[in-house]
Amino acid sequence: MTTLSAERIEGQAARMVRSRHVHGAVLAVDHPALPKPHVAAAGDLAAGSRFCAASTTKLVVTIVVMRLVERGVIGLDDPMARHLPAELIAGLHRRKGVDHTASITIRHLIANQTGLRDYFSLKGADGRRPADALMAGEDSAWPLARTLQAVRGSEAQFRPGQRGKVAYCDTNYQLVGAILERVTGQSLPDLFAAEVFAPLGLCETYIYSDPSDDRPVWFYGGARRLHLPHYLASVQAEGGMVTTARELAAIGRAVFEARLFDIDALMAQQDWRMLFWPGQFHFGLGLEKLWTPWFIAPLRPIRDVMGCWGQTGAFVFHHPETGLHFAGTVNQASGLGHASAVRAMLAVIRAARR
């Protein structure tokens, strides 16, 4: 019999802020044993806080891509070049003197298998990465044109789709965003609202587009509260969603209950590959999977916790064995608070198994 309860979830949220790096946390848990999804908050966040969802936005990108695939608007194996102007992407992927740009497909983009460099970690003329400047509180927009200019001068890491290779790359998702806008004729805020947020009845979730918008609770970089509205407004596909824990959990549940697209078709095409940066986890076709070491539960390993992480400490995951859905944030962009979210999810999974 499960020992999962609202009190246990509240206790896990409280533990999440015991990390000196976590100033506030929200944890939403949805499970058949609960009368309704429970949202617990601690520290400087409330249960209904709107937060910057960062790369959990990529789950919404996956949803929209798969919905368009099902309608025949695009195909996963469509070359990127079929949908984007030649002058925009010319010479983008070069490795060992060979241009592989024409070989990049939509599948490669959403699986992070292009080999393109992640603009976020490339050093500029001043020797700093965009990540360094942003973590120092220097707000700057990174639209697609600027991103591609930075990437075009860098050697690609591997050939598109090369066997066994994967590299986390926000550049890929900026390109997917551009494709989605071109094939639908809609802006990403309008497209994501029409395809995902409105069908699910979400009222607090949207794509950030106005730098004067002060509705989100801004996240931390270590001890510093960051305010990066121009950056957030410029990276809509890779990480521009603003949401609440309850509504992010609703998105995750809708995905794995196949209410937005055929999840079985997506799972049948998964090609999980281990990443070691920006964290240790598996990346597949538009989804991530937690890496859980054997010693966490040596007699009954915890497997297949699938969803998405965000750089701000946002998360949305599902554990099929127990039927659990998780979402929330530790609101910390340094990466130092993610472990507390993992511990909380694993503790809830263990409770649900009892």
Question: What pLDDT is attached to residue 167?
Answer: 96
Helix (H) or strand (E) segment spanning residue 86: helix 86-89
Q: In the chain, at which residue ranges do the beta strands (DSSP E only) sit? A: 24-30, 38-43, 51-54, 94-95, 98-99, 206-207, 220-221, 224-225, 241-243, 273-275, 281-283, 288-290, 306-309, 314-319, 324-329
Roughly what angle, to the nearest 10 degrees, separates helices 57-71 and 170-184?
40
Domain ranges within the chain, ordered by starting residue: 6-353
Residue 116: is it exposed, middle or buried by C-beta count within 10 angstroms (0-12/13-18/19+)? buried
Longest dimension (CA), the chain: 61
- Considering the segment(s) 6-353 as one domain, its CATH architecture is 3-Layer(aba) Sandwich (3.40)
Average pLDDT, integer, range 12-28? 95
Give the confidence band of 294 by pLDDT, cuts at 50, 70, 90.
low
Average pLDDT, integer, range 11-28? 95
**pTM for the predicted model, two decimal places:** 0.96
Question: What pLDDT is attached to residue 1?
Answer: 47
Average pLDDT, integer, range 291-308? 82
For the cut 80, the answer to whether the pLDDT of residue 196 exceeds it is: yes
Q: Return the percentage of the chain with pLDDT > 90, whole number.
A: 86
By the 8 A CB rule, do 220 and 20 touch?
no
User: Tokens for 5?
Assistant: 């309860």
Q: Give the integer Cα–Cα distance in Å for 270 and 99.
A: 27
By the 8 A CB rule, do 237 and 198 touch?
no
Reduced DSSP (H G I as helix, E B as strand, rest coil) percent helix, strand, coil of the chain, to 5: 35, 15, 45
pLDDT for 226-265, tens place per residue? Answer: 999 999 999 999 999 999 999 999 999 999 999 999 999 9
By the 8 A CB rule, do 27 and 326 touch?
yes
56 vs 4, higher pLDDT: 56
Which is it for the CA torsion 353, 34, 196, 67, positive or negative? positive
pLDDT for 105-119, tens place per residue? Answer: 999 999 999 999 999
For the cut 70, the answer to whether the pLDDT of residue 72 exceeds it is: yes
Average pLDDT, integer, range 308-336? 95
- Which range is least confidently modeled, 51-65, 79-93, 329-343? 329-343
Average pLDDT, integer, range 174-179? 98
**Type of residue numbered 186:** Q
User: Tokens for 309?
Assistant: 């992480």
Cis peptide before 278 (omega within 30 of 0): yes
Give the confidence band of 268 by pLDDT, cuts at 50, 70, 90.
very high
Query: Which residues have CB under 8 Å from 274's CB, separation 6+?
Result: 166, 280, 281, 282, 291
For the cut 70, the answer to whether the pLDDT of residue 295 exceeds it is: no
By the 8 A CB rule, do 24 and 45 touch?
yes
pLDDT for 130-167, tens place per residue? Answer: 889 999 999 999 999 999 999 998 999 999 999 999 99
The whole-chain average pLDDT of the chain stands at 94
